[in-house]
Amino acid sequence: MKIKLCLLLAGALAASCSGNNSKNNDSASVSSKDTLPATAADAPPVNMQYCFYHTDGTQAQDTTSVSMLINGNKVTGKMSWIPKEKDARKGTIEGTLKENAIKAVWTYGQEGSKDTMTVDFQLRGNALAQKPYKYDAKTGRQLTNEKADYTVIYSMKNCGN
């Protein structure tokens, strides 16, 4: 009798986990809602840790990861850009949160030297959006393109990985 009950429970559990068999896999793509500006009503919960990643390059071989702790309006964390065949940038971010927008300074090391860059993020549900960088020919440095929209989209990931 116990074996039949266990089999019945296992079958019910398997059926409940099968989910929707729709061929539309929304979790693997960025939806239009992820690229729309967020509002104050979308402001994230505070006193939480968030982790995100973004891949780019011709074969998605370059990875940027962001791990941030939001405590009130203060944001601290780590950010790493790890390209496949170039020198990585790894460091810390420190900034402020206002509604869903984060303005931070990324202090990183690259090729044995230390540098800083401002970074602008926007929290959007399960995604993080960033303003892209631009190259300043006069200084020879990358900087955040303040006039651009938040077009670099990061996916949320488990902070334990």
C-beta separation of 102 from 111 below 8 A: no
Relative to beta strand 127-130, strand 113-124 is antiparallel
pLDDT at position 161 is: 59
| pLDDT at 29 > cutoff 70 | no
pLDDT tens digits for 12-27?
333 333 333 333 333 3
Please report the sign of the dihedral spanned by the C-alpha atoms of residue 52, residue 127, residue 40, residue 101. positive
pLDDT at position 46 is: 66
Query: Domain coordinates of the chain in residue numbers?
Result: 47-161
pTM of the predicted protein model:
0.70
- Report how far residue 137's alpha carbon sits from residue 106's, in angstroms, rounded to the nearest whole number: 21
- Report how far residue 105's alpha carbon sits from residue 40's, in angstroms, rounded to the nearest whole number: 23
Task: Report the mean per-residue pLDDT for the chain.
Answer: 78
